[in-house]
Structure 1
Amino acid sequence: METRGKGPIGRPRGFDADEALEKAMRVFWEQGYEGASLTDLTGAMGITRTSMYAAFGNKEDLFRKALERYEEGPASYVARALREPTAREVATAVLRGAVQVSTRPDCPSGCLGVQGSLAAGETGRSVRDLLAEWREGGVDRLRDRFRQAVDDGDLPPGTDPLHIARYLMTFANGIAVQAVGGATREELQRVADTALRSWPPA
């Protein structure tokens, strides 16, 4: 993802676009799309509204870029998990990643993709739909990986790849919600371990 677009020739932007986007991501992560005001965002980013619009577009554009950064950064554990050699190891890595990202001491609790716009009014409808699509994309990637596992004999014949993908994502999303409510890393890891006990045997 390219975030360092060039300003007009002879008019240097005067701020680090990557750093500003990182700060915007954290504001959205902590406050949600509608909860994050332009004042909150520009204050955290250390720029004016004019500079924000010039560099990132409007608030929704900025959120989309922040979500991309989140997927490439904190949420990149999902892409890594999909490369694990067995379906069970994929599931273990996904839940472990959800626990760790949702409870990082240096970041907001929970998951930007879950809390970003669960409850949104009309002004946040497009972002709510964007995040629903984003979460469903995660389910689709897991489904494809588990379909491969069935074909490889790593999961039992007749296993429904979509069902177990949604099962896993439901737990991962629930972990994020519980983290916002104050559940500790240790408590949530125990929940993840419990979920894995019912994983289909090979």
Structure 2
Amino acid sequence: MPGGRPRSFDADIALDRALELFWRHGYEGTSLADLTAAMGINKPSLYATFGNKEELFAKVLARYLDGPGAYAADALNAPTGREVVERLIHGAVELTAGANTPNGCLCVKTVQACGPDSRTVRHDAVAVRKAGEAALRRRLEQATDLPSRHEPTTLAALVHTISDGIAVQAAAGRSRDELRQVADSALRALLGDGT
């Protein structure tokens, strides 16, 4: 017996469009009507291919982490602790205020703007943030080139706090050049004049 009708849309392109929409407007700021219009599909096709809105967001979040947000995991492979921190903070500027991306961070927007009905989505975004900070802490524990005044747990929290602040400022319209200056000042404060 033959399967259903073949899909008349490209699921990867549709997922990329959903990613951009969620990134631009946040989870709660994006309606199903917005999604189907941007993705070029109807609701039954959305549900059949991606599940409900919450399940779609989980797929989008994974795509974000493997795509635009992959700089964070890549930064952990830098040869020195100083370079790890520099790449993360400069990467936050490029991700959140780059010429080809929506302003702000998908995870930060989701954590900030999800109400009680979106607990699972918020929980998933918080879990991503915590996992990233824990991975950074483990990497910083291996570094021997960082100022001794910083212990890895606190430095990892500081880096994430600065990155989140950059994302909030980008969402508020701060320019890439302004945020690069902020990033450079933060790096000097964290790491000394060697940056």
> Per the shorter chain, which TM-score range?
over 0.9
Instruction: Return the alpha-carbon distance in structure 2 between the equivalents of residues 37 and 23 of structure 1.
Output: 13
Match of 2:100 in 1: 106
Matches within 5 A, 1:81-92: 81-92=75-86
SS in 1 for 2:126: helix
Instruction: Return the alpha-carbon distance in structure 2 between the equivalents of residues 105 and 90 of structure 1.
Output: 23
For residues 107-145 of structure 1, what are the alpha-carbon distances to aligned partners after superposition, in whole Å with 9 as ceiling and x for unaligned? Answer: 210110111241222211211111111111110110010
SS in 2 for 1:199: helix
SS in 2 for 1:74: coil
For residues 44-82 of structure 1, what are the alpha-carbon distances to aligned partners after superposition, in whole Å with 9 as ceiling and x for unaligned? Answer: 000011001110111000000001111111111111111
Q: Which of structures 1 and 2 has the larger relative contact order (alpha carbons within 8 angstroms, sep 6+)? A: 2
1:29–1:111: 8 Å Cα contact kept in structure 2? yes
Matches within 5 A, 1:143-154: 143-149=137-143, 153-154=144-145
1:32–1:112: 8 Å Cα contact kept in structure 2? yes
Aligned amino acid, residue 177 of structure 1: V
Match of 1:184 in 2: 175
Instruction: Return the alpha-carbon distance in structure 1 between the equivalents of residues 155 and 147 of structure 2.
Output: 12
Matches within 5 A, 1:158-197: 159-197=150-188
Q: 1:50 aligns with which of 41, 44, 51?
A: 44
Match of 1:5 in 2: none
Q: Structure 1 residues 69, 191: closer, same or farther in 2, change over 3 A?
A: same
Q: 2:57 aligns with which of 63, 73, 95?
A: 63
C-alpha RMSD over aligned residues:
1.7
Instruction: Return the alpha-carbon distance in structure 2 between the equivalents of residues 33 and 159 of structure 1.
Output: 35
TM-score (norm 2): 0.93
SS in 2 for 1:116: helix
Q: Structure 1 residues 119, 10: closer, same or farther in 2, change over 3 A?
A: closer
Instruction: Return the alpha-carbon distance in structure 1 between the equivalents of residues 10 and 137 of structure 2.
Output: 38
2:26–2:113: 8 Å Cα contact kept in structure 1? no
Instruction: Return the alpha-carbon distance in structure 2 between the equivalents of residues 159 and 99 of structure 1.
Output: 23
Unaligned runs of 5+ in 2: none
Unaligned runs of 5+ in 1: 1-7
Instruction: Return the alpha-carbon distance in structure 1 between the equivalents of residues 4 and 27 of structure 2.
Output: 34
For residues 140-180 of structure 1, what are the alpha-carbon distances to aligned partners after superposition, in whole Å with 9 as ceiling and x for unaligned? Answer: 1100100111xxx3235674211100100100010010001
Match of 2:20 in 1: 26
Instruction: Return the alpha-carbon distance in structure 1 between the equivalents of residues 54 and 111 of structure 2.
Output: 12
1:10: Cα distance to partner?
5.3
Q: What percentage of residue pairs aligned between the two structures are identical?
A: 49
Aligned amino acid, residue 109 of structure 2: Q
